[in-house]
Structure 1
Amino acid sequence: MENFVVIDLGSNSIRMTISQINDKGAINVTHQLKEMVRLSENMGSKKILQKEPIERTLKALTSFKDIYSKLKNVKIEALATAAVRQAKNQAEFLKLVKKRIGVDFEVIPGNREAYLDFLAVTQTLPIEDNCIIMDTGGASTELILVKEKKVSDLISLPIGSVNISQEFSLGNNIAASDLFKAMTFVEKKITDINWLFDAHKAQLVVLGGSNRTLAKIARRQQNSDKLPSLHGYKLKSEDAFDIFADLVDLNQAQREKIPGLAKTRADVIIGGLIPISLILRTLHIPEILFSNNGLREGALLDYLDSAYQFSRPR
């Protein structure tokens, strides 16, 4: 029995999944943890990781270590994404993590992050042969064009919920001019991708904290006693636009009271929903399919394929 630990150090949150794998490759997920550390907070144009976010991250990593250090036969795959990838003080940060926690983080490139998203989505959801997959994080957005259920093109853009919100002052009361500037900036990034237009009216599969928050808000609005599963949940584009418009009208304190929207995400949700809003509008996509699986699940599937010579079925 092996305990496979995946730590996903993102720009907004840090997550850990522990899966027990038996000799035949059967999986039992035993732990799923998440801490909002906002590592990319106030990085600014100089792209320097700041002291307070670093300390929050180290504290979260310490709590994770307290859990997996008690297990036997542990294999750790620690992956750092956009915030660390972009940081000018990346080497110093990784050295500090190694010294304090004892873990060597792999800083994965954006295309690797996108590919792991692809694995997680295509092997756990009944997607159409041709679709577009979108992962919006705190400091990056990954887009994967799928044709005949294979990767056709992929890209990682250095824009996400935290850096968009902070750069364009979208945290509290939102000025129309700031929102316009933010959407124009992101639209230029998106429309500069020529192959993206091959996904016109295609199926859109989304993941990432901001996009999942959209689903959580929509599910709560259904007033259902039993919320439908987020993994595989569908939402019409018109309903997504309505939710986005309602959120823009609110200040941070008011957004914190919205069912389905975590208080820790209330100051970055507007920036986080701009990319998906523009993708929906630019590509005329009628409906969104949500995935609860992403990088961590993709890393597990990739490990199973290499270590046990097989991939998991859908």
Structure 2
Amino acid sequence: MRIAVIDLGTNTFHLLIAETAGNQPEVLYKTNVPVKLGEGRINDNIIIPAAFERGINCLETFSHTIAQYQVNEIRATATSAVRSAENGQDFVHAVKERAGINIETISGDEEAELIYQGVKLSGAITETSLIMDIGGGSVEFILCDPEKLIWKKSYNIGAARLMQQFFKSDPITDDEKNAILFHIQNQLADLFEICEKYHPEILIGSAGAFETFAELIIRKNNLKADINTAKTFAFNFDDYISTSIKLLNATHNERAEMPGMIPLRIDMIVIAVLLTNYVLGRCKINRLTLSTYDLKMGVLASMI
């Protein structure tokens, strides 16, 4: 059977097409498009007209690709930008009408569950772990061990939200950093409470910004790793920290020129660094790994 999974993220729309004969799904096609659905007014809970149109155009293209691959079943999930937008359901209806795709708007809890299932499939969970998925609209945290999911929660502190609210200078100022950290400290109180109890030993970054961190380090050190084919990537912690400090101190143009940086993340990576470093520090974690399997693979697993 052929399955298509569409993940409508706040920044990026993803399409994954897989053949599910046998135990392991075989990925036939995957792509992502930086639609930036949350551009401009995500904190006002509005999808602006230009982003609305970009989203529909992208899904019309996805629809053609799905037809070419003669897919049997499609599951399209929308996350933070659509679920929080006042015109989110208008977008869902417009997509159905123009692209013929039924979108399911999932809750933050469902999103966290699917991320967990995807990361689990990568084999990254080998001890008590904290999974972190940094989206444009929300950030999901999942506390787990190799046997089970212990705790999960989605927070509306995604990179696009924080960037639009706080990040106005180039490079980011100390005042802006402090405002962001103060904001997330208040939001994440229950996360730190649960981590005090279970002491996760490693932070597993789910795709997205963590793939960019990995790509920057791979290029800088001429490593042989390829995150396009790898399921996981273990960071050298000192390497990660020095890269993160460089990103925080760099200007927009300096970040743009870093080998491995993609245009979508030039500015949002700064927010991702602040979030990641704060969580590592507060939870006393000094090990970091990437799972390239995320929500999409969790949706695929749930369909198989």
Task: Report the counterpart of residue 311 of structure 1 in structure 2.
Answer: none
* Other structure's SS at 1:123 match: helix
Query: Is 1:214 the counterpart of 2:221 in the alignment?
Result: no
Alignment of 1:258-269 (within 5 A): 258-269=258-269
Q: Quick one: which amino acid aligns to residue 222 of structure 1?
A: N
Alignment of 1:79-90 (within 5 A): 79-90=77-88
Query: Is 1:17 the counterpart of 2:23 in the alignment?
Result: no
Task: Report the counterpart of residue 63 of structure 1 in structure 2.
Answer: 61
Structure 1 or 2: larger helix share? Answer: 2
Cα separation, 2, equivalents of 1:42 and 1:291: 30
Cα separation, 2, equivalents of 1:167 and 1:177: 13
Query: Is 1:120 the counterpart of 2:121 in the alignment?
Result: no
Query: Is 1:251 the counterpart of 2:247 in the alignment?
Result: no
Q: Quick one: which amino acid aligns to residue 52 of structure 1?
A: A
Cα separation, 1, equivalents of 2:123 and 2:24: 19
Moved more, 265-274 or 154-163: 265-274
RMSD over aligned CA atoms reads 1.8
Cα separation, 1, equivalents of 2:24 and 2:235: 33
Task: Report the counterpart of residue 104 of structure 2 in structure 1.
Answer: 106
Query: Is 1:161 the counterpart of 2:162 in the alignment?
Result: no
Contact (CA 8 Å) 2:232, 2:291: kept in 1 or not?
yes
Task: Report the counterpart of residue 135 of structure 1 in structure 2.
Answer: 133
Provide the TM-score with structure 2 as the length reference: 0.93
Query: Is 1:273 the counterpart of 2:273 in the alignment?
Result: yes
Change in Cα spacing, 1:303 to 1:171, as seen in structure 2 (3 Å) is farther
Q: Quick one: which amino acid aligns to residue 81 of structure 1?
A: T
Cα separation, 2, equivalents of 1:171 and 1:55: 29
Point out 4+ residue stretches in structure 1 off by more than 6 angstroms: none
CA drift of 1:62 comes to: 1.5
Change in Cα spacing, 1:201 to 1:155, as seen in structure 2 (3 Å) is closer
Listed as ranges, the gaps of 5+ residues in structure 2 are: none
Task: Report the counterpart of residue 182 of structure 2 in structure 1.
Answer: 184
Contact (CA 8 Å) 1:144, 1:155: kept in 2 or not?
yes
Of 174, 179, 182, the residue aligned with 2:172 is 174
Change in Cα spacing, 1:291 to 1:68, as seen in structure 2 (3 Å) is same
Task: Give aligned pairs, total.
Answer: 301
Change in Cα spacing, 1:128 to 1:21, as seen in structure 2 (3 Å) is closer
Of 148, 151, 167, the residue aligned with 1:150 is 148
Contact (CA 8 Å) 2:201, 2:287: kept in 1 or not?
no
Cα separation, 1, equivalents of 2:200 and 2:152: 18
Provide the TM-score with structure 1 as the length reference: 0.90
CA drift of 1:8 comes to: 0.2
Q: Quick one: which amino acid aligns to residue 20 of structure 2?
A: I
Task: Report the counterpart of residue 89 of structure 2 in structure 1.
Answer: 91
Contact (CA 8 Å) 2:112, 2:153: kept in 1 or not?
yes
Q: Quick one: which amino acid aligns to residue 219 of structure 1?
A: I
Query: Is 1:51 the counterpart of 2:49 in the alignment?
Result: yes
Identity of aligned residues (%): 26
Task: Report the counterpart of residue 238 of structure 2 in structure 1.
Answer: 238
Question: C-alpha deviations, 1:126-154, integer Å up to 9, x for none?
Answer: 42232111111111111011145201110
Q: Quick one: which amino acid aligns to residue 70 of structure 2?
A: K
Query: Is 1:36 the counterpart of 2:34 in the alignment?
Result: yes
Contact (CA 8 Å) 1:170, 1:267: kept in 2 or not?
no
Listed as ranges, the gaps of 5+ residues in structure 1 are: 305-314
CA drift of 1:254 comes to: 1.4
